[in-house]
Amino acid sequence: METILDKIIRKKQEEVEQLRDMTFPLIEGAQPKYSLVSRLEKGKDVTIIAEFKRASPSKGDINPTLDPALQARNYIDGGADAVSVLTDKTFFKGSFEDLKKVRLAIQKPILCKDFIIDPIQIDFAKHAGANLILLIAAALDLKKLEYLYEYAKTKNLEVIMEVHNEEETEKVLKTNNPIIGVNNRNLKTFQVDLRTTERLAPLIKGENRFLIGESGITSGSDVERLVRAGANGILVGETLMKHGNIVQGVKELKKPLIEVVK
């Protein structure tokens, strides 16, 4: 049976062809390099990546009309270290324009959150102002993963490689990319389970990589649980997109002042 991830990738293949005829959402002038790796290297405390996510295939509309610039500024005011922006249109109602608006609003690393299968998407991410891209192990074989990783590096972009199980983790550990995201949501079934990070953390930390715990995080105690498991950073979307007081929402996630393990 076709999973939602298969469906997204099939649609993405069409979109990539359309991108070839489109112009870049160009940011004028040279962009400063904001680095998530340096933040992770410095961090004694947990690194927070707050996500701008209007909608998702599992939840439908989350907060579709929110202003990306305003939301991103609130994230940073609350103490977020980086902002992730969904750029997929069909399933998440995002865009490269959203990313560009966030770039013009904040001076911190920005992650382009999309289903990247082709270098042209990396060009668009770069030109919209991203500092990092996501590569999803479930959607890419090792050869493609390495090729897109090397391409991103030539564009001065950092990469988060996302995994959900042991097999994907082994695959990304064959590359030398320093940041691995563990998605607690299974992209094939949408089930969320924080134990995914707990299970995969020893493999990742054993190889001296930075671990980002992603998805399904709703409170400071979830953050504490993931940091205890070995997370250096966390990525939070829905909880913050729905929060009545965003600045306060980020502060609550930062509250458990427990030290991360390098």
Residues near ligand IGP, by CB under 6 A:
51, 53, 113, 136, 162, 183, 214-217, 235-239
Closest distance of CB 115 from ligand IGP, Å: 6
Closest distance of CB 245 from ligand IGP, Å: 17
| Nearest residue relative to ligand IGP (C-beta) | 237
Cβ proximity to ligand IGP, 196 vs 215, nearer residue:
215
Cβ proximity to ligand IGP, 30 vs 219, nearer residue:
219
Selection from 192, 177, 168, 120 nearest residue 146 by Cα: 177
Closest distance of CB 105 from ligand IGP, Å: 20
Cβ proximity to ligand IGP, 50 vs 106, nearer residue:
50
Closest distance of CB 187 from ligand IGP, Å: 7
Cβ proximity to ligand IGP, 93 vs 209, nearer residue:
93
In angstroms, rounded to a whole number, what is the distance separating the alpha carbons of residues 247 and 77? 6
